[in-house]
Chain A
């Protein structure tokens, strides 16, 4: 069974600071997704990375997939209170008819105004 680890588990920062969240595994994934979840709501897909070494940017968020497709990072520049939430990485494992997605434990981010 493939497992995903995320670090840090909790993060509280001041508005305007930068931060990086890490997602690591000992196994290779066919793709990796990042989601953000707010309390009482379902996760919202932020990005999918597929190619080793791939970098994607979404406004102030930069996502990188490791060369070996075992790890990923999410960097937020100039964090804002609206970035507060639970950030989940999810690795996709190919099955015969669908991709089984494994979720990491999440990073709870709190951005203080």
Chain B
């Protein structure tokens, strides 16, 4: 149980375009979903936390107008990187938590490369 999927696994886009990443909890209802960014050989950096049906809470320094998060249902959250630039290239990982909100189940990640 506790499976989280992400789509796409990797994406290459041109500078200035927008990219949407989907995060789905496949076998449980995710009360809260989290979006992280990870640079090579570094730990996870929390970008934002979202609860179903409400606005996401962004961490300090994360631009909410650039990284749009929608949590429309208990099983789906999306992250849209708007007007992507090469510095947005990174590994984006989502996670979801259910009843035990301190236990997060991670998706496999999405490798974004902006050229």
Contact = CB atoms under 8 A, between A and B. Distances in A.
A101 B34 CA distance: 10
A36 to B, nearest CB: 11
Q: Give the secondary structure class of A's interface.
A: strand
Contacts of A41: 108-109
B27 interface: no
B109 A48 contact: no
Interface stretch (B11-19, B80-88, B95-103): B95-103
B51 A42 contact: no
Contacts, number: 62
B102 A43 contact: no
A30 B111 contact: no
Interface of A: 30-31, 33, 35, 40-45, 48, 88, 90, 92, 97-106, 108
